[in-house]
Amino acid sequence: MAKSPPTRPTAKGPPGETSAADAILRRKAQQTDDLAKAVPWNDNKSLEHGFSQGLAPAKGVTAQPRSPLPTGSTVSEANTSEKTGDPVAEGLNAVHGRLDRVRADAAGQALTTNQGVAIADNQNSLKAGLRGPVLLEDFILRDKLTHFDHERIPERIVHARGSAAHGYFECYEPLTELTRAAPFQAAGQVTPVFVRFSTVAGERGSKDTARDVRGFAVKFYTDEGNWDLVGNNMPVFFIQDAMKFPDLVHAVKPEPHHAMPQAASAHDTFWDFVSLMPESTHMLMWLMSDRAIPRSYATMQGFGVHTYRLVNAAGESVFVKFHWLPQAGTHSLVWDEAVKISGADPDYHRRDLWERIEAGAYPTYELALQVFTEEQAERFSFDVLDATKIVPEELVPLRPVGRMVLNRNPDNFFAETEQVAFCTANVVPGIDFSNDPLLAGRIHSYVDTQISRLGGPNFHEIPINAPIAPVHNNQRDGMHRQTIHRGRVSYEPNSLGGGCPFQAGAAQGFVSVPARLQAKEEQGKVRAKPEKFADHHTQATLFYDSQTPVEQAHIAAAFRFELSKVTVPAIRARMVASLRNASEALAQAVADGLGMDELPPPLPRALATPAKPEVRQSPALSLMARPGDGRIAGRRIAVIVAHGVQGAAAERLQAALAAQGAVVEFVAPRVGRVRGADGVDLEATASLENKPGVLFDALAWPHGEEGVATLARDGHTMEALKDGYRHAKALLLVGAAQTLLDMAGVPTTTATGDPDPGLVLADGEEGADAFVAAIARHRHPERETDPPQV
């Protein structure tokens, strides 16, 4: 029999009164903010650097909640039943205690079982008579159903959403003075590759255009084994040590109490974590920049992130950082465009990669290296073992060493893209590791996660394996999970859980022996970081100060959007306080966007007096410094038409654009034949409904009074025109089509009164050349305003 509910009414009280349900939710929100305020910054961060600190780790910082409310998953936990039982006792984990894996083609072949036995009948189960029961001996049925029941494997914890392609890497010149690695031994040497691109935070079925880091993993199939260069589209990362990787991922993933939001970092737990981890500041600049919403995988840089070693045949080594440079240039979406694309085509990047390769517009990247010695590295103001830092190109220029071409799509998504296993530990002679502590963790973790995809991580909760000692940690989820964790916090440090569970410190916790002898000397084993790792903000400032004003505005807008989703005011304030250490201007812009009356004091720095940086501004960090080769090959362009358009002129426009390599489609109110006023009919392959303007890089409206009048009556036309204008795309309006501008409220000049360079207005058939030039710029940010005026 279910227990009676607690004496907490759920119905509204008399008019003007607050219901008990509202009251308890208000108390939970207030107490949650109070608890977060009680941890105003990560007081232990400055204690993580230096050898002596590593000998005696400090105990974690905690705060005591006023009641169980702020740390609970749900305020309904007091509604008990015979199944749910009573609320968990404080500090209890009741689960633990005493013992109480190639291509195939079937052309001309008969069906067989997995054992190769030919199947006579694939339509019927084996029965005892026509109407009799199905027999247990039907091994053909069992073979088919059993395999079907086990067709899916667990998705990757991160980088679950992926797309991939085959291709090749071609070396420009021998690099034998640097490395004996197989791909770099001769000019023109070709190495097959398989490349997987991915988003990081979202699940396997999530959208492509989320604001996120993108994975850029390359498997080289060399004659001395497989080399996996597993990187991202950003050269830095959130954390400096793999010890914090589970905390980071737990914080950015959907919150555990309600599994929201999907494929997004705009929520409390992510910003709670990073606001307490100032080493994340540089990566946040990249994440809030347009790098996090690339136009396509073909226009996205790739980075190896870590410092590796190149080793030559004599055993001599140098440090190296890897860069992939897209030959189509680096281009991005704008946020409003990305949001709308996610609804119109959540497979936007996957489809783009597939269609480019199918159409022969092969994505091509140049591999460039930054090579430097240990002596050079020692003179840098930053530590090259720190994954939150870059080596500016002004210090070590890029050296192009080869190109990669992706020229073949996979035959089977599951067998290739889903099952491919990358690992940073997969290297070949001539490639070696540095002492980067984040890299060291990845060397372990990638092997382990591939194994776990065939099983589960929770074997420790099988009764015979369970310890009798109390278990409290931030490990979560997985197959056959037994523990039901209370609350939303599964990372450390945190403030939403009062800092719990907290690190025990040297007094109670396990501390590795620094060395067998002379344990107090500097090179012993300790859990600590070098002092230069404590500079969390200098390169964040470098990145922000190196952006154009447009890109800086995008970064501020991104922070504003993400932090406006955070429901705990103390976390918003803490993040703005952290930004003050990177850029006062950025912090002020974000604070203004969040309605803060005044800036909070800057957070204490882990390193009070960081070294003077060698580079204060690096143009190479701006997307606009990498415009590509100026061609429009691969760009998707919509020519919007309707009955009554000048068909011949529209066809000539299409031909002129296609001659430049662009992918051009006629888009009309409905698919099919479009009658031309001049007797030349067109074939619309897409409609304004099924392919809205946000899916294209540029849009054109040809001349034709009747056609323009028809389009003017279709709301999709105004939407496409407004979106194209707002997203700073190249727009061409010919003749009568220019009347659409007034209808949509689109101005022909920028806010400064200058002509809009991306708005091409033409009479007759003029305008194609100017349109091509406008498209080549990709975007025309001169028209951007915040908030948008159109």
Catalytic positions, written as ranges: 159, 232
Interatomic CA distance for residues 219 and 194, integer angstroms = 5
- The amino acid sitting at 382 is F
Q: Where is 672: in which H helix or E strand?
A: strand 672-674
Measured in degrees and rounded to the nearest 5, phi and psi for residue 146 equal -65, -45
8 Å CB contact between 327 and 365 = yes
Interatomic CA distance for residues 777 and 329, integer angstroms = 11
- CA-CA-CA-CA dihedral for 591, 200, 474, 498, to nearest 10: 0
The CA-CA-CA angle for residues 289, 293, 299, to 5°, reads 105
User: Within 10 A of 211 (CB to CB), how many other CB atoms are there?
Assistant: 24
Interatomic CA distance for residues 181 and 367, integer angstroms = 15
Largest Cα separation within the chain, whole Å, is 92
* H-state helical runs in 681-757: 705-712, 715-726, 739-744
Interatomic CA distance for residues 235 and 621, integer angstroms = 10
Burial 298-314 (b: 16+ CB within 10 A, else e): bbbbbbbbbbbbbbbee
CA atoms within 13 A on the CB side of 245: 18
Give 532-584 as a DSSP string. GGG--SHHHHHHHHTS-HHHHHHHHHHHHHHHHT---HHHHHHHHHHHTTT-H
Q: Which residues pair with 734 in a beta bridge?
A: 762
Cβ contacts of 150 within 8 Å, gap of 6 or more: none
User: Within 10 A of 787 (CB to CB), how many other CB atoms are there?
Assistant: 5
Nearest residue to 92 via CA among 670, 483, 502: 483
Interatomic CA distance for residues 165 and 169, integer angstroms = 13
8 Å CB contact between 38 and 495 = yes
Q: Where is 438: in which H helix or E strand?
A: helix 437-452
The tokens of 429 are what?
């002679």
Cβ contacts of 663 within 8 Å, gap of 6 or more: 355, 359, 361, 634, 635, 636, 637
Burial 121-148 (b: 16+ CB within 10 A, else e): eeeeeeeeeeeeeeeeeeebeebbeeee
Interatomic CA distance for residues 475 and 163, integer angstroms = 28
Interatomic CA distance for residues 323 and 233, integer angstroms = 9
Interatomic CA distance for residues 784 and 788, integer angstroms = 7
Cβ contacts of 550 within 8 Å, gap of 6 or more: 624, 781, 784
Number of residues written out for the chain? 790
Nearest residue to 560 via CA among 591, 582, 585: 591
Nearest residue to 576 via CA among 553, 599, 593, 558: 599
8 Å CB contact between 697 and 636 = yes
Cβ contacts of 296 within 8 Å, gap of 6 or more: 331, 349, 352, 353, 356, 634
Measured in degrees and rounded to the nearest 5, phi and psi for residue 524 equal -75, 170
Pairing mode, strands 730-734 and 759-762: parallel
Pairing mode, strands 672-674 and 698-701: unpaired
